[in-house]
Amino acid sequence: MAVGIVLVSHSAAVARGAAELAREMAGDVVLEPAGGLDEPGEPLGTDAVRVAEAIGRADSGDGVLVLMDLGSAVLSAETALDLVDGIDVALCDAPFVEGAVAGAVAAQAGEPLAAVAAEARRGLAAKTAHLGGDEPADEATPDDDDRRSWRRVELDVTNRLGLHGRPAARIVRTAARFDAEVRVADLDNGNGPVSARSLASVMALGVVRGHRIEVSAAGPGAAEVLEALGALAATGFGDEAEPEPAPPPVRTPAAVPDGVTFRGLAAAPGSALGPVRHLRLTDVPDPDGSPGTRDEEAQRLRTAVGDVGRELAAARDDAAATLGAEAADILEMQALLLDDAALLDAAVARVGEGEPAGRAWRGAVAGVVTAYAGVDDDYQRARVDDIEDVGRRVVAALAGVPVRRTVSGPGVVVAEVLGPADTAALDRSLVRGILTASGAPTGHAAILARALGVPAVVGAGEAVLRLDEAQPVLLDGDTGAVYVQPDRTVRREYERRQAAAGAAHDAALLTATEPAVTSDGVRITVEANVGSLADASDAARQGADGVGLLRTEFLFLGRDEPPTEDEQVEAYTAVAVRLGGGVVTVRTLDVGADKPAPYLRQAREDNPFLGVRGLRLGLARPDVLSTQLRAVLRVAADHPVRVMFPMVSSLDELDEASALLDRARAEVGTGVHLPVGVMVEVPAVGLLAEAFAERVDFLSVGTNDLTQYVLAADRGNAGVAALGDACHPAVLALVRRTALAARDRDRPVAVCGELAGDPTVTSLLVGLGVTELSVVPTAVPLVKQAVRATSYADATRLAEQALRRRTAAEVRRDVSEPQRAMTR
């Protein structure tokens, strides 16, 4: 509860404007405008009854401050006091607009009624000082007050796409955790300041890469929130490195090959051939057919917004379970738009002016869309699709019609644009490809299409909407080419490519559930890397022997608090059940300052890849790690699971983690044996493999990170990416050393990086002594087939030869010859 504020003015527009300004500055505070006469058109004047009703609405038990503009407004406010009973009301002689802002900030901070009134009266202090007037006696100067109340920090925006939806949402979520008012301004384009609790306002600032923002905070949590936002900024506001979007194609006749009817933007890789299936949106009747009173319309709007918010939250949870954390983040961003007080308040204000709920909501959304259209950044302008999608869903909810997009059968889905929730809800058994008239490769629908594994071309122009239903179309998600009624030559070439790839995979799939055994009798376990429940299901279908790497980050990211022990038990159990008895290797939380979870409050790091991440973070936050270990122990009582610690660099760290595991076992009260392993990512572990093999039950080589650490080549840096080849003899030497240490102590050793999923190097890894290969689910059948096509003796000779080479290129040449022989 807090002090409420009533603004009495002769003009309804002035009262609403002052309330809007104060609310923007203060955030969540009760402000009730009471302007104009309660007559059609709200003519100028004041109404004591209207003022009394506003006082009643503003009261939450802590009192109400009433501010008035002039003349009869004061008389109406005094008369209203006789019409209310049992409410502590203070009529204040503060300046109307400045007093509203200052009083609202004090009310939001939880100050009592008398203090709120005093702050309102000081509202003119800053203006008086600026213009050289006399300052009020016995009060702090504005400068002193400013230094005492506000803290400021300037932050660089370094992520490539600036403050688009998800980074802006992370700012909003972070600011909301602290007892402080927080504002953000762009120091380069002059936009702002805006409330950091308003997603739409932060996004509409137009902050792009290279800009510098000023974040200011006031309140008890000011220092802490600035520290947290500084740490967030150091990680690029949570953005992972993303590939540069494909440039728009050159639209000249010479650049369009024969048979290409349209050329759009490549959005998701792969090709698709099938009949056109237009995505039909359920017709939505006019939601304003029988509007009610203003209060009824405002309540109807709030109810519709709440209903859509719950739908999007459910879609977000489904996406987290089936598509992973990035997809869930996208849908959460849409849900946060609905939580944006600025958007809803703008719509409710329009209702207060006499507009029905549907028209008011569309007008408020149009205002946000207009702001986005003026942003000088293609990626951020692409967020317009997300905002318009939210707008449509609320209008449908107002009309009582569920938003459903349907297709008539399997084929290539064609639409003007797809919202994130629409894309996530697509039936993958029907959708062969996606073709849209508008949109961008950086749009959230395109990102989700890639997560779904559906080829997509976007931005192909409105002409695609005029394609006939069931008309044959072929799209190439790698180039953006779209062929309508492709001729026989084009069809045959695409069909040949698809058939060859499909036949190879299908042939391998026929025997995928069988063990992978070399021709001379050595069994190799082929498992799957899993990052969601959908991945686990796919792994089982592809014949995986188990899960060699369960990335548990899908449970921890995209939320404001860590998952509970019970949540984790449920998720790990679900994965184990899907694998039907195969061993599930649970990697403990592996995040760092480059991929932050807001509740971990990680400090800024200049080089997060060498900072507090993996097991280091787990030991720094034993509460989070211990909860995860208890969950794994509980699952181990009923299912074959093992636990693996990431980013280990010393035996001391392993000892600390083992002690936490022993404590967790005592807390759970179980004597179940839980196999423990470490990831070999840091070269120190490979060099001390013998010592580690004595202390753990298994070892797993993460070739992705090991390669970049051994070769000092950041895999996300295009300038040095060519150096980071895991087939480099130095990397292979550490794999071999690890495998020998494991063999001497009868321990299994796995490779779980991308190298393991390349069938051309399967024989090499087997020859190095690797006993387990953990790969993406779709690679399981082909890797198993590659194991069966080699002999352990030949593989050993190949490995010995590779270790004598000087470059990765030489190793690649060595492995290509046996692979060609296998496939002839």
What percent of the chain lies above the pLDDT cut of 70?
80
Q: Which residue has the tokens 């950041």?
A: 714
Whether residue 418 sits in one domain with residue 357 = no
Q: Which residues contact 361 (CB under 8 A, 6 or more apart)?
A: 301, 304, 347, 391, 394, 395, 398
The tens digit of pLDDT for each residue in 610-628 reads 888 889 999 999 999 999 9
Q: Residue 550 forms beta bridges with which residues?
A: 530, 586
- 709 pLDDT above the threshold of 70: yes
Last residue of a domain, one of 398, 424, 451: 398
Whether residue 328 sits in one domain with residue 275 = no
pLDDT given for residue 805 in this prediction:
94
- 29 pLDDT above the threshold of 90: no
Whether residue 699 sits in one domain with residue 671 = yes
**DSSP reduced 3-state for 140:** coil
Whether residue 793 sits in one domain with residue 689 = yes
Q: What is the CATH number of the domain that holds 132?
A: 3.40.50.510
Measuring CA to CA, which residue among 521, 595, 503 is closest to residue 558? Answer: 595
Q: What is the CATH number of the domain that holds 327?
A: 1.10.274.10
Q: Are 347 and 398 in contact (CB under 8 A)?
A: no
> Do the domain assignments include residue 425?
yes
C-alpha 335/C-alpha 339 separation (Å) is 7
Whether residue 157 sits in one domain with residue 92 = no
Whether residue 461 sits in one domain with residue 545 = no
> Do the domain assignments include residue 502?
no
Last residue of a domain, one of 470, 486, 502: 486
Query: Which of 40-49, 323-332, 378-387, 702-711 is predicted most confidently?
Result: 702-711
Task: Extract the tokens encoding 443.
Answer: 């749009």
What is the overall mean pLDDT for the chain? Answer: 82
Q: Residue 183 forms beta bridges with which residues?
A: 195, 216
> Do the domain assignments include residue 219?
yes
pLDDT given for residue 441 in this prediction:
66
pLDDT given for residue 253 in this prediction:
29
Task: Extract the tokens encoding 404.
Answer: 């459903």
Measuring CA to CA, which residue among 690, 630, 625, 628 is closest to residue 653? Answer: 625
Q: Which residue has the tokens 């925006």?
A: 157
The tens digit of pLDDT for each residue in 519-555 reads 999 999 999 999 888 889 989 999 999 999 999 987 8
> Do the domain assignments include residue 240?
no
Q: Are 668 and 613 in contact (CB under 8 A)?
A: no
Instruction: Give the lowest-confidence range in 19-28, 138-147, 339-348, 572-581.
Output: 138-147
Neighbours of 262 (CB within 10 A): 21
- Reported as type and span, the H/E element at residue 795 is helix 792-803
Whether residue 672 sits in one domain with residue 695 = yes
C-alpha 640/C-alpha 66 separation (Å) is 67
Whether residue 303 sits in one domain with residue 275 = no
Whether residue 133 sits in one domain with residue 29 = yes
> Do the domain assignments include residue 491?
no
pLDDT top residue among 363 and 71: 363
The tens digit of pLDDT for each residue in 81-111 reads 888 888 999 999 888 888 888 788 778 767 7
Q: Decide: residue 224, CB within 10 A, 0-12 exposed, 13-18 middle, 19+ buried.
A: middle
Omega cis (within 30) before 193: yes
Whether residue 656 sits in one domain with residue 616 = yes
| Phi, psi dihedrals of residue 616, rounded to the nearest 5° | -60, -45
pLDDT given for residue 143 in this prediction:
41
- 821 pLDDT above the threshold of 50: no
The tens digit of pLDDT for each residue in 572-608 reads 999 999 999 999 999 999 887 555 566 776 666 666 6
> Do the domain assignments include residue 562?
yes
- 716 pLDDT above the threshold of 50: no
- 748 pLDDT above the threshold of 80: yes
Instruction: Give the lowest-confidence range in 36-40, 178-182, 493-497, 620-624.
Output: 36-40
Measuring CA to CA, which residue among 437, 444, 338, 307 is closest to residue 386? Answer: 444
pLDDT given for residue 147 in this prediction:
42
Q: Which residue has the tokens 């070999």?
A: 680
User: What is the residue-wise DSSP string for 575-609?
Assistant: HHHHHTT-EEEEEPP---TTS--GGG-PPP-S-GG
> Do the domain assignments include residue 503?
no
Q: What is the CATH number of the domain that holds 428?
A: 3.50.30.10
At 824, the pLDDT band (50, 70, 90 cuts) reads: very low
Measuring CA to CA, which residue among 796, 630, 607, 801 is closest to residue 714? Answer: 607
Q: Look at the alpha carbons of 160, 161, 162, 163 in this order and tell me if their dihedral is positive or negative.
A: negative
Whether residue 199 sits in one domain with residue 119 = no
Q: Are 773 and 751 in contact (CB under 8 A)?
A: yes
**Residues carrying an active site annotation:** 444, 752
Range of the domain at 52: 4-139
The tens digit of pLDDT for each residue in 442-497 reads 565 676 677 677 889 988 888 888 888 888 999 888 778 899 888 888 888 887 87
- 134 pLDDT above the threshold of 50: no
pLDDT given for residue 722 in this prediction:
60
> Cα(first)–Cα(last) distance of the chain, in Å?
77
What is the DSSP secondary structure assignment for residue 758, as one 8-state letter?
A: -
C-alpha 345/C-alpha 26 separation (Å) is 14
Q: Are 285 and 511 in contact (CB under 8 A)?
A: no
> Do the domain assignments include residue 647?
yes
Range 500-512 average pLDDT: 80
pLDDT given for residue 604 in this prediction:
61
At 160, the pLDDT band (50, 70, 90 cuts) reads: confident
- 788 pLDDT above the threshold of 70: yes
Whether residue 131 sits in one domain with residue 22 = yes
| pTM: predicted TM-score of the whole model, two decimal places | 0.50
The residue length of the chain stands at 824
Last residue of a domain, one of 92, 114, 139: 139
At 677, the pLDDT band (50, 70, 90 cuts) reads: very high
Q: Residue 482 forms beta bridges with which residues?
A: 262, 475
Q: Are 5 and 99 in contact (CB under 8 A)?
A: no
What is the DSSP secondary structure assignment for residue 679, as one 8-state letter?
A: E
The tens digit of pLDDT for each residue in 235-282 reads 888 775 444 433 333 333 223 344 557 888 877 777 888 999 988 766
Measuring CA to CA, which residue among 80, 112, 109, 78 is closest to residue 92? Answer: 78
What is the DSSP secondary structure assignment for residue 27, as one 8-state letter?
A: -
Q: Which residues contact 124 (CB under 8 A, 6 or more apart)?
A: 95, 98, 136
Domains identified in the chain, total number: 5
Measuring CA to CA, which residue among 374, 375, 380, 388 is closest to residue 442? Answer: 380
| Phi, psi dihedrals of residue 603, rounded to the nearest 5° | -75, 160
Measuring CA to CA, which residue among 431, 394, 437, 401 is closest to residue 418? Answer: 437
Q: Are 435 and 413 in contact (CB under 8 A)?
A: yes
